[in-house]
Amino acid sequence: MEYWVSMPENGYTSDLASALAPDLLERFLRYVRIDTQSKRDRERSPSTPGQLDLGRLLVDELFGAGLDDASQDENGYVTATLPGSDGAEHVIGLIAHMDTSPDAPGSGVEPIVHRAYDGQAIELPRGATRLDPETMPELSAKRGHDIVTSSGDTLLGADDKAGVAEIVAAVAYLAAHPELPRPTLKVAFTPDEEIGEGATLFDIEGFGAECAYTLDGSDIGELQDETFAAFELSATIRGVDVHPGQATGKLVNALRIAAQILSALPSDGLTPETTSGREGFIHPYRLGGTPGEARLRAIVRDFDEQRLREHIELFERTARDVVAQHPRATVEIDVRRQYRNMRSYIETVPEIVQAAELAIRAEGIEPVRTPIRGGTDGSRLSEMGLPTPNLFTGGHEYHSVREWASVNDMASAAATIVRLAEVWARVGKVVSAG
């Protein structure tokens, strides 16, 4: 097939990637302009109407590409099917999320394409935002690439519209090239991933895939089958509130006790800012209340369940020890599981990750196996019965006004999907021959 020719001269990993890039970029620039920022503590799905607008556009584009069952359900999930080649045995899912992070401004995104990046600092027109390769080693590696940024005062939304655009471009390409072998591909675009709800109303049975891949990673080559395991903790401290003028010997200030707990937690280790790689942490993220009642909230993360339990015990013990010094105060600790490390679900089906490795290598890229210091839709989908590792998208500096994406790497991601389809088509043949 003509696209297997090795690396072209134009900075793309293959002629296939080079061929996919223009369509992919056009779609991406269209999607990022739609405000799909999600909102915490949602009252309905999706949490914001802009996600429905993007979903409707995606249904139209999937129809246009020939996926004629494309639809959006009442919770905002978009799904579509690309039927497999004759005799296809496998049903493989491709998933990306439509919402963007609530942690940086997300409305009025005006993307800028910086053609053939020269390796210098990029000054954006608004917000005095500067992308400095000195402090961004990933950016300095992209000299010669086409780079997309926002205008400086909003996020870009490559997280995860890069993944959305890569999936649409890849399935459109496959639909237009029926001679390329492929399994049945099921596409899903989820709402509200950034607020931890992307998997909540996902109809896994209706989706009907045996496994899936999220396109929600970052640098080229990333293939992730491990995420943090996650808990949220809160300590509610009740003191004794008395008018401060008559408080002598009576007032027990819950807010002050909460602050003591906070300062008694480890700060020279076991925090997000002092850990990396496979180390976990306790991260207090909200403190509030009154002298009568105060609440300290924290998230706890680790890759290992046993160590995660130890971090939770440390938080509980610290809170109880501090409160014990104030006999008239009480504390109530709430421990809530958020998600598990997806590895335990994925490692029982090794061919899912093997297929992705083969596809990435077929695109001329060396797979990069890093654990995700966070969760993805795949964390909970894997737990719910749909094993779902994560693939790179080519985006960087997520959840910030400095967010950027390499068009070249996005094209490599789309090309990897096309190759993944071929790998799964071949796995089918091997299985049926055996």
Determine whether 226 is an active site residue. Answer: no
| Min CB(193)–Zn ion separation in Å | 6
Residue 182 or 301 having the CB closest to Zn ion: 301
Residues 152-191 that bind Zn ion (CB under 5 A): 159-160
Query: 193-232 mask for Zn ion (x: CB under 5 A)?
Result: -----------------------x----------------
Residue 160 or 192 having the CB closest to Zn ion: 160
| Min CB(414)–Zn ion separation in Å | 17
| Min CB(214)–Zn ion separation in Å | 8
| Min CB(358)–Zn ion separation in Å | 25
221-225-231 Cα angle (round to 5): 130
Residue 225 or 422 having the CB closest to Zn ion: 225
Longest dimension (CA), the chain: 86
Cis previous bond, 46, omega within 30: yes
According to the binding rule CB under 5 A, does residue 377 interact with Zn ion?
A: no
156 in Cβ contact with 149 (< 8 Å): yes
Token pair of 278 as six digits: 């496979």
Give the end-to-end CA distance of the chain in Å, rounded to a whole number: 26
Q: Among positive and negative, which fits the CA dihedral 334, 339, 343, 344? A: positive
Q: Considering 192, 193, 194, 302, which one is annotated as catalytic?
A: 193
Q: Considering 35, 99, 226, 403, which one is annotated as catalytic?
A: 99
Q: Which stretch binds Zn ion (CB under 5 A): 124-132, 151-159, 176-184, 342-350?
A: 151-159
Residue 84 or 375 having the CB closest to Zn ion: 375
Pairing of strands 71-72, 211-215: unpaired
Helices (H) and strands (E) in the chain, counts: 11, 17
15 in Cβ contact with 8 (< 8 Å): yes
Q: Is 97 helix (H, G, I), strand (E, B) or coil?
A: strand
Determine whether 193 is an active site residue. Answer: yes
Residue 216 or 383 having the CB closest to Zn ion: 216
Write phi, then psi, for 224 (nearest 5 degrees). -125, 125
* Interface contacts to Zn ion, rule CB under 5 A: 159-160, 216
Active site residues: 99, 193
